[in-house]
Amino acid sequence: MNHRICAAAALALLAPLAGAQTTPQGSRDLPARSIPVPDTVSPQMQKLIGAPLTPTWNVIPKTAEEWKAQVSAGYEATMKSLPALREALGVKVEPITLDGVKAYMVTPSSIPPQNRNRLLVHVHGGCFVSFPGESGTAEAVYMAGIGGFRVISVDYRMPPDHPYPAALDDAITAWKAATRMAPPKNMAIFGSSAGGNLTLAMVLRAKQEKLALPAAIAPGTPMSDLTNAGDSFQTNAALDNVLVAPGANCDKRAALYIAGRDPKDPLLSPVYGDLRGFPPAILTTGTRDLLLSSTVRVHRKLRQAGVEAVLQVYEGQSHAHYYRDVSAPETREAFGEIAQFFDKHLAK
């Protein structure tokens, strides 16, 4: 019960108390309650939804060294899980360098004919600070294995040593190098969370620099608004067991990336960008995702800009739950949808 008590205590700090005199007009007062795990998802997803809150969701390191220690612990845990994931999906991962930027070539054991001349570029999540090196390749392994695509996963530089724009600079350098390995019309960019932010920011930067654009993008539950505007930051607080609540660990990591700049800069918060001319996009989120609003708001901005954009919202899922369990049917479904979308829009 400890984590439950902690969550309730922390949330009480984050949200104004019901009935308080400062309650703004129109606020919805909700009583304390207990939300059960839904039975409308697979047993594997029920397990993820019923899991305790991320242990470090509100553990905030105080120094750069403490941040590195926390990131290192996450790195070690992820690295332990990757061999089994690669094995399950028949995928190999090899380090490469693209014009000085570190990356990984992620290759499935079998590539269907229509994907032989196609190439995807992946930018990983981790709130701009976590999952360095090979630990950032997990989502690329899912995409390569389930979709049958070759994927370049970019190991971009991160805070605390390298704030914005280092990650975006590296991602763009990798993109430029990758477009010499395959025709851009045969390529897509994808990534979730911070990787969804970077996917969108890469297209904004590529537009600015008049680079070739990919034929499609798949920003998953993108951190599209680093100002934390958006209804689901409030409505899904504490329901989402991954990010849990605004103002907590993930946002502190994002602050290291922003490093004092204006978070409303579209290259930091792409929802405020000019999205006209974007390639077709597929966005993925869940009903309990703290970034549900950050996802559906970008979807609407894309549609308002005349872009073909499709939205997938998975029942009961918290932030990026769709690549946590390789055995969950929802995982195959999510990457299957993205693969089908890419197949529709990428040249061969």
Any contact of residue 221 with its own copies (CB under 8 A)? no
Any contact of residue 333 with its own copies (CB under 8 A)? yes
The answer to whether 97 and 174 are in contact (CB under 8 A) is: no
Burial of 9 (0-12, 13-18, 19+ CB in 10 A): exposed
Any contact of residue 304 with its own copies (CB under 8 A)? yes
- Contact set for its own copies, span 232-251 (CB under 8 A): 232, 234-239, 241
Find the angle CA(180)-CA(186)-CA(188) to the nearest 5 degrees: 95
Region near its own copies per CB under 8 A, out of 33-41, 92-100, 109-117, 138-146: 33-41
Least CB distance from residue 201 to its own copies, whole Å?
20
Region near its own copies per CB under 8 A, out of 194-202, 210-218, 246-254, 309-317: 309-317
Least CB distance from residue 239 to its own copies, whole Å?
6
d(CA 108, CA 112): 10
Question: Can you read off the two tokens belonging to residue 136?
Answer: 């950032």
Least CB distance from residue 234 to its own copies, whole Å?
5
Binding mask 38-77 for its own copies (x = CB under 8 A): xxxx----xx-xxx--------------------------
Long-range pairs for 54-58: beta carbons < 8 A, 24 or more residues apart: 54/241, 54/242, 54/243, 54/244, 54/249, 55/3, 56/249, 57/242, 57/243, 57/244, 57/245, 57/248, 57/249, 57/250, 58/6, 58/10, 58/244, 58/245, 58/248, 58/249
Any contact of residue 30 with its own copies (CB under 8 A)? yes
**Residue from the set 34, 55, 110, 260 that interacts with its own copies by CB under 8 A:** 34
d(CA 68, CA 61): 9
Least CB distance from residue 112 to its own copies, whole Å?
19
Least CB distance from residue 53 to its own copies, whole Å?
9
Q: What is the DSSP string of 294-318?
A: HHHHHHHHHHHTT--EEEEEETT--
Q: How many chain residues interact with its own copies (CB under 8 A)?
A: 67
Least CB distance from residue 276 to its own copies, whole Å?
16
Any contact of residue 32 with its own copies (CB under 8 A)? yes
Residue closest to 81 by CA, chosen among 338, 345, 323, 251? 323
**Residue from the set 66, 76, 94, 231 that interacts with its own copies by CB under 8 A:** 231
Nearer to its own copies, 215 or 298 (CB): 298
Any contact of residue 172 with its own copies (CB under 8 A)? no
**Residue from the set 37, 79, 166, 211 that interacts with its own copies by CB under 8 A:** 37
Residue closest to 219 by CA, chosen among 190, 243, 194? 190
Least CB distance from residue 336 to its own copies, whole Å?
9
Hey, how many other C-beta atoms are within 10 angstroms of the C-beta on 228?
17
- Contact set for its own copies, span 278-297 (CB under 8 A): 287-288, 292-293, 296-297
Contacts of 342 (CB under 8 A, 6+ apart): 118, 120, 147, 149, 188, 215, 216, 218
**Residue from the set 2, 25, 63, 110 that interacts with its own copies by CB under 8 A:** 25
Burial of 5 (0-12, 13-18, 19+ CB in 10 A): exposed
Q: Which residues sit at the interface with its own copies, rule CB under 8 A?
A: 1, 4, 7-9, 11-12, 15-20, 23-41, 46-47, 49-51, 229-232, 234-239, 241, 287-288, 292-293, 296-297, 299-300, 303-304, 310-316, 333, 337
